[in-house]
Amino acid sequence: MAQETPPMSHPAVVIRGLRKRYGRIEALGGLDLEIPKGEIFGLIGPDGAGKSSLLKIIAGVLSHDEGQVIVLSQPLASEEDAEAIKGRLGFMPQGLGLHLYPELTVEENLRFFAELRLVPEKEYYRRRERLLAITRLAPYPDRKVKDLSGGMKQKLGLACTLIHQPELIILDEPTTGVDPLSRQELWAIVAELVAERELTAVISTSYLDEASRFHQLALLSGGRIIARGTPEDLAPEGLESWFFRLAEKHHPVAYLPPVLKGEGEPPSGPVIEARELVKDFGRFRAVDRVSFSVAAGEVFGLLGPNGAGKTTVVRMLCGLLRPSRGEGRVAGVDMRAPGRHIRQRIGYMSQSFSLYRDLTARENLWLYAGIYGVRNEKEVMEALVDLCQLKGFEERRTADLPLGVRQRLALACAIVHRPQVVFLDEPTSGVDPPGRKRFWEIIYLLAQELKITVLVTTHYMTEAEYCDRLCLMHEGRIIAEGTPKALKEAVLKRAGRPISLLVSNPLSVLRELRGMGLQATLYGARIRVLAPEEKINALKAFSPRGLLPEEITMEDVFVYHILREEGHGMEKNQGLGS
């Protein structure tokens, strides 16, 4: 008797001829796509490529104008169709914890989503324990969401998305604004659940280095898929070169308009000085005896996990927050002096508010020029439009600008009065790689030509490489400082060199390597490990295809120091315990 052929598994998602318009703007144009079950599928592309619209349509929270959408074998043609399938889906929108309730605790949020999804009580407790363990949120069930760090919010958001054990999870840029260690933890959680339960995950990202974590990925531009395949298929093309070819036409910043150049020589001593800064919020110490100095024209970076105290340090130095103890001087002014004395000499670009979204780009520039009493403001503004590459966007409402353009406008407003010091608090979070490159070209020009001192906080470790010097913070304290080169050399000496292993059973190998006390990270079927020379030979048994030497990165440095400070093994730290 002939053996029956097993039925072929239907794809998790099938899309044919999908179109979505917002007025005259076509966000998705005739898009075709199939996403297999049991894989981590990635969507990458420049700002405005249509990633978020596509994910919302797959999740059933946004209607489409034309075409066919089938999710888990259910056609989505109406609100009733979307309602019928929502119990089998989990959707996490873009933004740090935006779908969570800030006044509720970790436990209360989890219980709310469980009740919303009709999870039985006994099953809720079992899943709750598992999810709190793998997200490392078990010690914080009574902490309100508003008091969580960005990384903790994202991990709680993922736990709430998974509480009803969906077959398909849809995550829109879940790691944007999240520190490197929390990013690794989020990816480890997803990889483990996909392997355990044949869960399907569809994820968009603005981090090109995360592309290697997908089983397959699609590259979007202008609402169309222009390339698709495995990371290995697309790697020879160079994902970063794809991004730069697809981004808006770009001319590198070549000169500084004369009207922006100030008069006189820059100061010879430190322009920013922090001495034993302390900030307490009740019984909680956010900043603990932080000291550093920054010279004129230096680009100085503050790195650290979400909640490390970076923004608090910046706000104290800007005169927006009084220190509990310690001293600081910025551009020759005591940071505790009345606000107008210090604010005239600094520019500040905050994480949240810096622009009036209902005003046009030009109106925002006029407003800031007026606030600072800028002379010859028309000439200065035109120069800033050129410098920050805002031509063609002047009359557009700020809320409607692409994120990269909006951030360059915020920078223009922060430097309209030609300050001596500029503070930038995560200025490129969520911006695509070409947008970040343009932003940093401007920063370099300001530092080199005007000797403007720049203090920047960032979660992009590639941007950390651009800084002249760095301080790494953890729980309010500085735990490492130096040039990027010196920091990397110190980690090479202490932890060993980075090596990649190509393995067929990555999760089990990852556990074994961490059991050996090695810093190991999963990237799809590849594992990256920091290994001292005496352990190199032992690694060969795990990778029959050989060991691939890698260059050390600032992400290696970041993760090494934070794990060392926390005193946790990598297995516990990345949610891969039993």
239 and 211 Cβ atoms separated by less than 8 Å: yes
Give pLDDT, residue 485: 96
Burial class (CB in 10 A: 0-12, 13-18, 19+), 507: middle
Q: CA-to-CA distance for 209 and 405, rounded, in angstroms?
A: 23
Q: What is the DSSP letter of 5?
A: P
Q: Which residues pair with 74 in a beta bridge?
A: 71
- Exposure pattern of 450-470 as b/e (b: 16+ CB <10 Å)? bbbbbbbbbbbbbbbebbebb
Beta bridge mates, 522: 527
Can you give the pLDDT at residue 264? 56
At residue 166, the pLDDT reads 94
Q: 522 pLDDT exceeds 70?
A: yes
- Using pLDDT thresholds of 50, 70 and 90, give the confidence band for residue 135: confident
Structure token pair of residue 20: 């979505």
Average pLDDT over residues 375-384: 87
Query: pLDDT per residue over 66-118, tens digit each?
Result: 999 999 999 999 999 999 999 999 999 887 777 899 999 999 999 999 999 99
pLDDT of residue 525 exceeding 80, the answer is no
* Tens of pLDDT, residues 395-413: 998 988 877 888 899 999 9
User: Tens digits of per-residue pLDDT, 196-220?
Assistant: 878 999 999 877 778 888 999 999 8
pLDDT on residue 577: 33
Mean pLDDT within 316-343: 86
Q: What percent of the chain has pLDDT over 90?
A: 45
Cα angle value 34/38/43 (rounded, 5°): 50
Q: How confident is the model at residue 187 (pLDDT cuts 50, 70, 90)?
A: confident
Average pLDDT, the chain: 86
- Average the pLDDT over each of 18-27, 137-146, 304-313, 337-346 and give the range with the smallest value: 337-346
| Residue 7: band (very low, low, confident or very high) from pLDDT cuts 50, 70, 90 | very low
pLDDT at 570 > cutoff 90 = no
pLDDT score for 62: 92
How many of the other CB atoms lie within 10 Å of CB of 572?
Answer: 14
| Calpha distance 571→518 (Å, rounded) | 10
pLDDT (tens digit, 9 = 90+) per residue, 531-543? 998 888 888 888 8
The answer to whether 145 and 109 are in contact (CB under 8 A) is: yes
Residue 421's SS3 state is strand
Is the CB of residue 420 less than 8 Å from the CB of residue 353? no
Q: Which long-range contacts (CB under 8 A, 24 or more apart) does 444-451 make?
A: 444/299, 445/253, 445/256, 445/387, 446/256, 446/415, 446/422, 447/297, 447/298, 447/299, 448/297, 449/256, 449/261, 450/256, 450/260, 450/261, 450/262, 450/297, 450/418, 451/266, 451/296, 451/297
**pTM as predicted:** 0.82
Maximum average pLDDT range among 130-134, 148-152, 191-195, 558-562? 558-562
Phi/psi at 24 (nearest 5 deg)?
A: -85, -10
Contacts of 482 (CB under 8 A, 6+ apart): 469, 470, 490
Over residues 161-182, the mean pLDDT reads 89
For 187-191, the CB contacts below 8 A with 24+ separation are: 187/213, 187/522, 188/522, 188/574, 188/575, 188/576, 189/134, 189/135, 189/155, 189/158, 189/575, 190/40, 190/158, 191/40, 191/506, 191/507, 191/522
pLDDT at 48: 77
Residue 336: predicted pLDDT:
83
pLDDT grade for 235, boundaries at 50, 70 and 90: low
Full DSSP string of 299-333: EEEEE-STTSSHHHHHHHHTTSS--SEEEEEETTE
Strands lying side by side in the sheet with 270-281: 284-295, 270-281, 325-330, 333-334
pLDDT at residue 108, rounded to an integer: 96
Domains of the chain by range and CATH? 13-246 (3.40.50.300), 258-482 (3.40.50.300), 486-573 (3.30.70)
Q: Are strands 325-330 and 270-281 parallel, antiparallel or unpaired?
A: antiparallel
- When pLDDT is cut at 50, 70 and 90, the band that residue 14 belongs to is very high
Computed on alpha carbons and rounded to an integer, the radius of gyration of the chain in Å comes to 25
pLDDT for the residue numbered 338: 66
Using DSSP's 3-state secondary structure scheme, residue 33 falls into: strand
> 18 and 57 in contact (C-beta within 8 Å)?
yes
pLDDT at 5: 43
Is the pLDDT higher at 15 or at 221?
15
Q: Is the pLDDT of residue 2 over 60?
A: no
